């Protein structure tokens, strides 16, 4: 059942189950992973209310064949104590629904710029600023469901 406001309007247009596990093999703290589609690539992303942008895994960016000419800027993010340089893009992110309807939105996406010898061992992250701030969302830890909806009517 999707969530509703007291006046009957829908809070959530869709819902999906989430997986609660560490982001890497070295970690012990669990994160919320939800199924998403970044442009045309189906994957999963961590819900990170303390982060910024959609941090797009470099392999996904490679599969999308993102062109540096299409970037909208550059930035340097502090990710887990490391300053990571990268490029900013506007990408379409779809939250996939098991119940209700999926939600597609255009978000700010940060793609880390790696040196040839570097590997990226983190998943994609949906940060609050530039990404999650454009939707309503709720987490039900009893049923492991992630609810989401558009902020604006008609979105």
Residue 29 inside a domain? The answer is no
pLDDT tens digits, one per residue of 109-130: 999 998 888 889 999 999 999 9
Domain that holds residue 118: 36-138
For residue 111, give the DSSP letter. Answer: E
CATH number, domain containing residue 60 = 2.40.70.10
Q: Is 153 exposed, middle or buried (0-12, 13-18, 19+ CB in 10 A)?
A: exposed
pLDDT tens digits, one per residue of 25-41: 888 999 999 999 999 99
Residue 151 inside a domain? The answer is no
Number of domains within the chain: 1
Residue 1 inside a domain? The answer is no
Q: For position 153, what pLDDT does the model report? A: 63
Considering the chain, what is the average pLDDT of its residues?
92
> pTM for this structure?
0.91
Residue 20 inside a domain? The answer is no
Determine the average pLDDT of the residues in 56-74: 89
Residue 154 inside a domain? The answer is no
Return the structure tokens found at 121: 């061992």
Angle at alpha carbon of residue 88, lines to 86 and 90, rounded to 5°: 155
Residue 153 inside a domain? The answer is no
């Amino acid at each position: 059942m999707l969530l509703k406001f007291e006046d009957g309007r829908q809070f959530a247009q869709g819902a999906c189950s989430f997986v609660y596990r560490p982001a890497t093999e070295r970690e012990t703290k669990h994160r919320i992973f939800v199924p998403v589609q970044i442009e045309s690539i189906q994957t999963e992303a961590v819900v990170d209310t303390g982060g910024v942008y959609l941090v797009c895994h470099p392999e996904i960016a490679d599969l999308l064949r993102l062109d540096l000419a299409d970037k909208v800027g550059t930035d340097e993010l502090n990710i887990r104590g490391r300053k990571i340089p990268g490029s900013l893009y506007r990408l379409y992110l779809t939250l996939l629904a098991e119940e209700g309807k999926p939600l597609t939105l255009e978000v700010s996406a940060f793609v880390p710029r790696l040196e040839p010898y570097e590997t990226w061992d983190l998943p994609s992250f949906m940060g609050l600023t530039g990404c999650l701030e454009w939707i309503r969302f709720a987490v039900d830890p009893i049923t492991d469901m992630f609810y989401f909806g558009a902020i604006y009517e008609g979105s």
